[in-house]
Amino acid sequence: MRVTIDGSKCVGAGNCEADMHDVFEVQDVGATKVVGKPSEDRRRELEFVIGNCPARAIGIDE
């Protein structure tokens, strides 16, 4: 499971980093970067993070 972020949508709100700090990191410029790869058993947690993104910028590429 590969996590993606649409940089043209991301506003750097930081919700994703707050929920999964081992997978997401907000950069100084306000954009977010994927820094980890969650295992399949964390899919439900990742789906919550995707739904919690105000910009709808996070996705899963299978």
Quick: pLDDT tens for 11-45: 999 999 999 999 999 998 878 999 999 999 999 99
Place 47 in a pLDDT band, splitting at 50, 70 and 90: very high
Query: What local confidence, expressed as pLDDT, does residue 59 receive?
Result: 97
- Residue written as token pair 């991301």: 10
Answer yes or no: are the C-beta atoms of 17 and 25 closer than 8 Å.
Answer: yes
- Cβ(2)–Cβ(39) below 8 Å: no
pTM above 0.85, yes or no: yes
- The rounded Cα 22 to chain-centroid distance in angstroms is 10
Class of the domain covering 2-61: alpha beta
Structure confidence at residue 28 (pLDDT) = 83
